Amino acid sequence: MDIAWPVGYNPTIMHGIRPLLWAAVAIALSVRLTAQAPPQTGQYDRTQITAGGILYGQCVACHGPNGDQIPNVDLRRGQFPTVVSDADLVRLLATGKPASGMPSFPMLRTDEVTALIAYIRSGFDAMGAAMKIGDPARGEALFSGKGGCATCHRVNGNGPYSATDLSEIGLIRKPTSLERALVDPTASIIPANRSVRAVTRDGRTIRGRRLNEDYYTIQLIDEQSRLVSLAKADLRSFEVVQTSSMPSYATTLTADERADLIGYLLSLKGR
Amino acid sequence: MKKLTKLFVGLLLVAATYRLDAQVTADRILRAADEPQNWLTYSGGYASQRYSLLRQIDTTNVKNLELKWMMQNQVFGPWETSPLVVDGIMYLTQRPNDVIALDAKTGRMFWLYRYTNSGRQTVCCGAENRGVAILGDRLFMGTLDAHLVAIDTKNGKPLWNVQVADDKLAYSITVSPLVVKDKVIIGVGGAEYGIRGFVAAYDAKSGREVWRFYTIPGKGEPGIETWSGEAHEHGGGSIWVTGSYDPALNLTYWGVGNPGPDYNPDQRKGDNLYTDSVAALDADTGKLKWHYQFTPNDPYDYDSVQVPVLADLMWKGSMTKAMLFANRNGNFYVLDRENGRFLSGTPFVKVNWMSGWDEGGRPILTPQPPGMSTYPGNQGGTNWYSPSYSPRTGLFYVSAWENYGSIYRKENTPYQAGRRFNGGGFQVTAPNPDAPGMRRYPINVWTDAVGRGAVIAIDPKTGQPKWKFPMYDVTDGGILTTAGDVLFTGNREGYFHALDARTGNVLWKSQLGGAIMSAPVTYSVDGKQYVIVNSGNVMATFALRE
């Protein structure tokens, strides 16, 4: 049942399911409020999303049922004029943006603010996932520092070419798929980004990222960032590697650090 | 011994697969002749001879050429690009402003970069691009909407993009840039729309403009006295074919296009410097060192954008740093490239707009009465088609339109921003009304009265033809010569020809099915020499049969 259908979208239907809805919310809130431990996955949990859905009723008059009624703002798709991280959203709710007509909501409790952010980050989908989005500046530091991402990935003309160029990753990936890629790279690599391994007849191994291939030849950029074209007839073996050469960050980065990294990646929208 | 052989074979294999990947430094471009397997500038080197030291393909075996691979342009239209080849990788452009990196051995693509033009760009003569320049790990391309873009050689991503001129005023770029030291030198087109032309140099790293030389002087500058009234403001002087560079003199040479309005000199009385001239510029500052004007106060659209070919010749007993220039106005010139001194001029086709030169090298003008034909005609004795000079034969080779004339008319045209600024027009001399014009029917009905194409081999010392290779139709194909004494060229008929560079005899030909509107390039990968040419929509690559 669509318990994530929280706000006056269709009064007739809403009337019918309202008792059910309130029951669900009551259960959800009680669960949420008794289990105060922060989530470890970098995601908001479903009870938070559900509770946020109820709270969104206060926003619907201006933002609309789909969150896209204000020009240049699309809450469901995560499009904001200035907001990037969750912390930005917390600040915005606390202070409002009087110049553009956004009121402040000082009456909201911290857990209610969190719930509202969870609902927004879920894309208004109670059955979906809602990623925490951290601070892009801290994320950038992790990208070139502790995370070691910059040793393989290239951004805005800097870095090696062996892994995919991330200059526009913020335009083409959602937070949830970025989190999945960080936690389980092999499961989430898209087939076109798989690396290839070729062994020449003289036993030399060439690894790289495939750029183009046909029946007789393969074009790749190797780990030394060289454009290489190989004739398959000159190879002893050739395979598309099913595992990602990227390490998992499930344990080497904390959930908050991954959220920061995701905040940075989402800010990469090309130039 | 066996072990050693094995090791050697192994090393060879390593070398074959793992190609050299050194960056293209300015020094490498300077010594392009040391690596004839590559093609590092538009004309194959700073002297712009379009001559290669490769000799695997020679006059004895050229008949064994076979097609290796083809590539089809995604956008239809004449394909004027001249590719670069660096260590087995070819970089080329296709209409309107795509850049492609591909394996020069197989034609398989590594990446494609698609530049999106403004949508309001205006060009007189087709959405052309003549190719990229390279320095370090960057390619440089001018765009139809008059931007200059730096592109990463590894992944085809843009690194910087600067506006060179305003496309709303019909500035455009079709020329392939020339890299000198740390600068990218480029020029603008649009003389048919009343632009004020210039050559400009940009810092390869940052895209910052370093210098700019206006081909039309401004108020208070030398040369302004060659323009009447305010005519210089829209004086034209496009740059649309790549220039040359002499490192010893540190001069870069650029042919300058026609004045505007094209056909009405009454609107711009005077010599109209520096239109229809070659300009020698200091490569560091862009300052004019010298100029030579081929056609003063031009009413015929005789752009002088031909490639300035640099060659050192014995001239009247002393070694001379010469410039060889076959001009659209029908004359072949030898200039002293240190100072621009006129050494000789000789018509290579029928010429009647002038009758000779005074002592200073200024043409003696003989304008034809109204309604009478002027030779050469509007498209010229030659045009943008790359010529070639072979130091082995000592001959200069040019694609020519012989016995080709036009009847010109002039009319007053007021300047309107971004609009055509022709000042009249022309018609091809022909005895019957159905004779073909510039744009051709699929079936060729060319006539003698309109003229014929030819490759002419000129001895620079005499200006006289050593041999001629006549064609039925006219030709827009450029010319490549090699140390194997083979001359490659194509024509509008779609034939790709290999001629004996010493005699002009046909050694081999292939019908490629579309007009050849660019110049061939040769290169070598893994020890095999390739020759490449564009025909219609197709780029075709040939090498010797295995």
Query: In this model, does residue B17 exceed pLDDT 50?
Result: no
Percent of chain B whose pLDDT exceeds 90:
85
Q: Which helix (H) or strand (E) holds B14?
A: helix B2-17
pLDDT at A19: 44
Mean pLDDT taken over chain B: 92
Fold type of domain A11-131: Cytochrome Bc1 Complex; Chain D, domain 2 (1.10.760)
Percent of chain B whose pLDDT exceeds 70:
93
Q: Can you tell me the distance from the alpha carbon of B508 to that of B65, in angstroms, rounded to the nearest whole number?
A: 8
Task: Tell me the pLDDT band of B152, cut-offs 50, 70 and 90.
Answer: very high
CA distance B241 to chain A (A): 30
CA distance B89 to chain A (A): 8
Query: In this model, does residue B3 exceed pLDDT 70?
Result: no
Q: Can you tell me the distance from the alpha carbon of A270 to that of A170, in angstroms, rounded to the nearest whole number?
A: 8
pLDDT at B22: 67
Nearest CA in chain B to A225: B154
B-contacting residues in A 187-246 (Cβ below 8 Å) = 200-202, 204, 206, 211-212, 214, 216-217, 219, 221, 224-231, 234
Q: Can you tell me the distance from the alpha carbon of B496 to that of B510, in angstroms, rounded to the nearest whole number?
A: 5
| Distance from the Cα of residue B393 to its chain's centroid | 22
**Nearest CB to B108 within list A161, A167, A214:** A214
pLDDT at A11: 37
Residues in A closer than 8 angstroms to B111, CB to CB, are: 211
Residue tagged active-site, from B145, B246, B262, B301 = B301
pLDDT at A17: 43
Bridge pairing between strands B65-72 and B538-544 = antiparallel
Bridge pairing between strands A235-240 and B251-255 = unpaired
User: How many CB atoms neighbour CB B64 within 10 A?
Assistant: 13
Average pLDDT (B107-124) is: 93
Q: What does the pLDDT look like over B384-398, one tens digit per residue?
A: 999 999 999 999 999
DSSP-derived letter for residue A74 is B
Instruction: Tell me whether residue B301 is one of the annotated catalytic residues.
Output: yes
Q: Which helix (H) or strand (E) holds A219?
A: strand A217-222
pLDDT at A176: 87
Start and end residues for every CATH 1.10.760.10 domain found in chain A = 11-131, 136-187+248-266
pLDDT at B135: 98
Report which of B263, B261, B112, B131 is spatially closest to residue B194, judged by C-alpha positions. B261
List the structure tokens of B436: 């073909």
Task: Tell me the pLDDT band of B122, cut-offs 50, 70 and 90.
Answer: confident
pLDDT at B77: 80
CA distance B519 to chain A (A): 26
Q: Which helix (H) or strand (E) holds B9?
A: helix B2-17
List the structure tokens of B413: 């045209």
pLDDT at B247: 98
Which CATH superfamily does the domain covering A136-187+248-266 fall into?
Cytochrome c-like domain (1.10.760.10)
Entry pTM: 0.85
**Beta carbons of B110 and A161 less than 8 Å apart:** no
pLDDT at A131: 84
**Beta carbons of A217 and B21 less than 8 Å apart:** no
List the structure tokens of A205: 């191994």
DSSP-derived letter for residue B462 is T
**Beta carbons of A212 and B152 less than 8 Å apart:** no
**Beta carbons of A204 and B17 less than 8 Å apart:** yes
On the 0-12 / 13-18 / 19+ scale of CB atoms within 10 A, A44 is: buried
Q: What is the CATH number of domain A195-240?
A: 2.30.30
DSSP-derived letter for residue B493 is T
Q: Report, as ranges of residue numbers, the positions in chain A whose pLDDT lies below 50.
A: 1-39
Residues in A closer than 8 angstroms to B205, CB to CB, are: none
CA distance B21 to chain A (A): 7
CA angle at A145 for the pair A144 and A149, rounded to the nearest 5°: 50
pLDDT at B443: 58
Q: What does the pLDDT look like over B396-427, one tens digit per residue?
A: 999 999 999 999 999 999 999 999 999 998 88
List the structure tokens of B339: 């100072």
Query: In this model, does residue B8 exceed pLDDT 80?
Result: no
Q: Is B109 within 8 Å of B126 (Cβ atoms)?
A: no
Residues in B closer than 8 angstroms to A158, CB to CB, are: none
Q: Can you tell me the distance from the alpha carbon of A77 to that of A196, in angstroms, rounded to the nearest whole number?
A: 35
Helices (H), chain A: 11-34, 46-55, 60-63, 86-95, 110-121, 136-144, 169-172, 175-183, 185-188, 255-266
Task: Tell me the pLDDT band of B74, cut-offs 50, 70 and 90.
Answer: confident
Q: Is B443 within 8 Å of B393 (Cβ atoms)?
A: no
- pLDDT top residue among A13 and B186: B186
pLDDT at A18: 44
**Beta carbons of A229 and B88 less than 8 Å apart:** yes
List the structure tokens of B269: 């009385």
Q: What does the pLDDT look like over B244-293, one tens digit per residue?
A: 999 999 999 999 999 999 999 999 999 999 999 999 999 999 999 999 99
| Residue type, position B452, single letter | R
Q: Is A122 within 8 Å of A76 (Cβ atoms)?
A: no
**Nearest CB to A229 within list B10, B103, B157:** B103
Q: What does the pLDDT look like over B482-509, one tens digit per residue?
A: 999 999 999 988 999 999 999 999 999 9
**Beta carbons of B155 and A219 less than 8 Å apart:** no
Query: In this model, does residue B151 exceed pLDDT 90?
Result: yes
Start and end residues for every CATH 2.30.30 domain found in chain A = 195-240
- Quote the ipTM score: 0.82
